[in-house]
Amino acid sequence: MSAHSQSMGAAPDLDFCPLMPTYGPPAVQFVRGSGTELFDRDGRRYLDFLSGLAVTSLGHSHPAVAEAIAEQARTLLHVSNLFGTQPGVEVAVTLDRLIGAEQGSPPGRPRGQVFFCNSGAEANEAAIKLARRFGGRGRHVVVSAYESFHGRTLATLHATGQPAKHEVFQPLPEGFRHVVWHDLDALEAALDDTVTAVLLEPVQGEGGVNVASVEYFSGVRRLCDERGILFMVDEVQTGLGRTGRWFGFQHFGVLPDVVTVAKALGNGVPIGACWAKREVAAAFEPGDHATTFGGQPLAASAARAVLRVMEAIDAPALASERGDELRARLEGLPHVVDVRGLGLLVAARLDVPVAADVVQRALGAGLVVNAVRPDAIRFAPPLTVSTAEIEEAVAVIGPLLADVEVAA
């Protein structure tokens, strides 16, 4: 027997985890899910009010998505992007239509073009490269906001406005600048001749669920138009119905030049996309950017099924209605001083910094949520969540918050 065969058959070292320590030790190991429910390896049921970080917007194991994946796996899994396949084209057409849905576009007339990739970070990486190609030499800086989150690659990490996350990875790529969130004067002061784009989220999910305003986004659009700068909107977490519109920027009456999307697009299958207006997308030439797996048939078929279901059920309307219910129920809970967000991307802000402890105890009680700040708990259930499930979740979190009074 070879040394390799012997090692493959060796008893595992139960004290050693084969995964890199980029996450803490998992508190729970989930083995299956259905709709808003998750089940661990002991068969215990949990309510998922995080959706894999706003990913499973149609709930777990949606039958239409599962069937699309299975059928595509039996048909064609992958070919190089040197060749064409059908599902990705259909997804691109749908994304273009939904992005322009409230802009009065003539039916069937595309506004932009799409580059497919595998994640939100890659979508933002594509947007950054596109902005640099559009700006040309000497005009390469991307301005983003403090408390933002745009990804974990070196470039998107530097675009992320959280300096504490930067330090251990210095030196980071040059060409990024940060300004105070929701401050047009600060943004205007940062827009010198080296700036090619402004990159913002309509709701800063990882920053605490901080919502933009009509005044802010319309002001950014005006400044970008005046300076010939691209306005790029990161919809990785907010896109595809989560905020109560197809895209978060649609709450503010503007159309960006570039839009990035991922998370909900595959309902758990890795896929991301960078959309750009046709005249902006034209800055890319063959060979400027590429990815082996982006838009391959399996992921694109999942995305096609997701979009079909979302349109059939009017996902934004569901998110708006259920979001109002969730906010109303959270507002009356102990220690909750504010509930902010849009649709079903909601944070309960507390008057004491106990969010992490409450989240941990919620998991023990069968509810999955997370702490985005020491004093803020994020709720992002599937858009298909029921009123009864919202009531059940609040019935779990309410007593845990009430217990804080005893410990305070």
pLDDT at 5 > cutoff 50: no
The number of folded domains in the chain is: 2
Tokens of 260: 């990035």
Strands 195-200 and 230-234: parallel
d(CA 362, CA 118): 31
pLDDT classification of 1: cutoffs 50, 70, 90: very low
Do the strands 195-200 and 141-145 form a parallel or antiparallel pair, or are they unpaired?
parallel
Average pLDDT score over the chain: 94
Residue 356, token pair as written in the block? 């992490």
Dihedrals φ, ψ of 125, to 5°? -60, -40
Task: Fill in the amino acid letter for 272.
Answer: G
Chain centre to alpha carbon of residue 243: 11
235 and 112 inside one domain? yes
Domain that holds residue 396: 12-62+315-407
CA dist., res. 184 & res. 215, Å (int): 9
- In percent, the amount of the chain with pLDDT more than 90 equals 89
Provide the CATH number for the domain around residue 372. 3.90.1150.10
DSSP 105: P
Return phi, psi of residue 6, to 5°.
-60, -45
Q: Assess whether 149 and 292 both reside in one domain.
A: yes
Q: What is the pLDDT of residues 289-316, one digit of tens each?
A: 999 999 999 999 999 999 999 999 999 9
Written as six digits, the tokens of 402 are 């009430």
The dihedral region occupied by 233, where left means phi > 0, alpha psi between -120 and 50, and beta the remainder, is: beta
Does residue 226 share a domain with residue 304?
A: yes
Co-location of 160 and 143 in the same domain:
yes
Q: Are residues 147 and 278 in the same domain?
A: yes
Q: Is 47 helix (H, G, I), strand (E, B) or coil?
A: strand
Q: What is the CATH number of the domain that holds 195?
A: 3.40.640.10
Does one domain contain both 134 and 281? yes
Question: CA dist 265 to 108, 134, 149, 254, 363, Å?
Answer: 21, 26, 18, 22, 26
The residues assigned a catalytic role are: 149, 234, 263
Question: Are 256 and 282 contained in the same domain?
Answer: yes
Which of 280, 296, 313 represents a domain boundary (last residue)? Answer: 313
* Ramachandran sector of residue 228 (left: φ over 0; alpha: ψ -120 to 50; beta: rest): left
Note the pLDDT of residue 215. 98
- How large is the average pLDDT for residues 192-214? 97
> Considering the domain boundaries, does residue 67 fall inside one?
no
Please, are residues 241 and 279 in contact by the beta-carbon 8 Å criterion? Answer: no
Mean pLDDT, rounded, for 179-183: 97
DSSP state for residue 151 in the 8-state scheme: -
The candidate with the shortest Cα–Cα distance to 209, out of 250, 243, 175, 178, is 243
232 or 13, which is more confident?
A: 232
Of 293, 313, 333, the last residue of a domain is: 313
What per-residue confidence (pLDDT) applies to 6? 46
Domain-embedded: residue 7: no
pTM value?
0.94
pLDDT 10s digits, 15-26: 678 889 998 888
